[in-house]
A and B are shown apart, each in its own frame.
Chain A
Amino acid sequence: MKQGDAVPEMKVTPDAGLTKRYAAASGDPNPIHTDEEFARNVGLPGCILHGLYSMAQVARANTAAAGGDPRRLKRLSVQFRGMGFPEQEITVSGTVKEERGGSLVVDTVAEQNGNAIIRNAEAELAV
């Protein structure tokens, strides 16, 4: 891969039970992710994805782009924007921005239905 190249796109659709499994696995108990009624009562359309779950999808796409070895993901910086929802497809896409001292810097975005849920993500991959 070189500057300007697109990294392979990754698609994933979190199922209806995902937020409960992620909450248990990550230790984040916030009910806006797992309790429909609670989420609606605080003005959300329903349970929303954990931002750090979406960030983990960006990490996974970048690790795959680097050949699959998790040790190659050296740095990942993201901004959380908008809300992600279960049962809707997430698309992670990216472009190599530059080569920096043996690493590739990849600009990445995660979208659902055309809305960015992770933006300005920058990954540094050892290659």
Chain B
Amino acid sequence: MALDTAIAGKTYDPVTFDVDADRIRQYAEAVHEDNPVHHDAEAARAAGFRAIAAPPMFAVVYSAPAMGPPIFEAIGDALPRMVHGGQEFVWGEPVCAGDTISTETTVKEIYEKDGKGFYVFESVSKNQDGAEVVRGTWTNIVRGV
């Protein structure tokens, strides 16, 4: 069965996420990030952050809501056969409590290799000042295409 690549190149409307300190602390605790800059506002400011700083991988929290629509549209009924194959993040401006992050996603590439479908999505997240905070490349693999 040939892969449907018609939506490659499609860009989706940005989805926003309000970052609050409790969500950062909860995430930092779950991934064992014990640097005080992720837990304590004073420590964060002393280290030069505007407020409690998100650990780099908190990128998955604020960009995930924007990933749903392109993944559902591109992969659809094959979702149960999908696995997360690879991930890249390139970080820019740090994300802090109080930020509003806006994430725009694009279906970057769809191709077939060794009987598997590769779906590559790009997310670009910016803060309320328009500064890029992260650029993500998400590779999802569907078996048996």
**Lowest 6 A-B CB distances belong to which pairs?**
A77-B88, A25-B30, A56-B31, A56-B57, A25-B27, A22-B30
Interface string of B40-62 (1 = CB under 8 A from A): 00000001000001011100110
Whether B87 and A78, one on each chain, are in contact in the complex, defined by CB atoms closer than 8 angstroms, is yes
Determine whether the beta carbon of A27 is less than 8 Å from that of B61.
Answer: yes
Q: 28 A-B Cβ contacts within 8 A?
A: A18-B30, A21-B30, A22-B30, A22-B31, A25-B29, A25-B31, A25-B61, A26-B60, A51-B84, A51-B87, A56-B31, A56-B57, A57-B31, A59-B55, A59-B56, A68-B35, A70-B37, A73-B56, A75-B88, A75-B90, A75-B91, A76-B89, A77-B86, A77-B87, A78-B86, A80-B84, A80-B85, A80-B86
Most interface-central of B57, B60, B61, B83 (chain A CB within 10 A):
B57
User: Secondary structure of the B side of the interface?
Assistant: mixed
Q: Are B55 and A24 within 8 A (Cβ)? A: no
Measured as residues with beta carbon below 8 angstroms from the partner, the interface class of chain A is 20 to 34
Number of A-B residue pairs with CB-CB distance less than 8 Å in the complex they form: 84
In the bound complex, how far is the Cα of B57 from the Cα of A63, in angstroms? 11
Q: How far is the CA of A28 from the CA of B85 in the complex (A)?
A: 16
Please give, as numbers and ranges, the residues of chain A lying within 8 Å of B53 by CB-CB distance: 70
**A-to-B contact residues, CB < 8 Å:** 12, 18, 21-22, 24-28, 51-53, 55-57, 59-60, 63, 68-71, 73-80
**Across the interface, do A74 and B91 meet the contact criterion of CB distance under 8 Å?**
yes
Bound state CA distance, A57 and B32, in angstroms?
Answer: 8
The reply to whether B64 and A60 form a contact with Cβ atoms under 8 Å apart is no
Q: Mark B77-101, 1 if CB is under 8 A from A, else 0.
A: 0000001111111110010000000
Residues of A within 8 A of B64 (CB): 26-28
Cα A21 to Cα B31 with chains together (Å): 9
Which among B26, B32, B94 has the highest number of chain A CB atoms within 10 Å? B32
A12 contact from B32, B35, B60, Cβ within 8 A? B32
Given A25-B26, A77-B87; A52-B32 close (CB under 8 Å): no
Contact yes or no, A73 B88, CB < 8 A: no
Bound CA–CA A74/B59 (angstroms): 13
Determine the chain B residues whose CB is within 8 A of the CB of A26 once the complex forms: 27, 30, 60-61, 64
| Cβ of B127 to closest chain A Cβ, rounded Å | 15
Partner of A24, one of B26, B65, B86, B91: B26
Q: Which residues of A contact B86 (CB under 8 A)?
A: 77-80
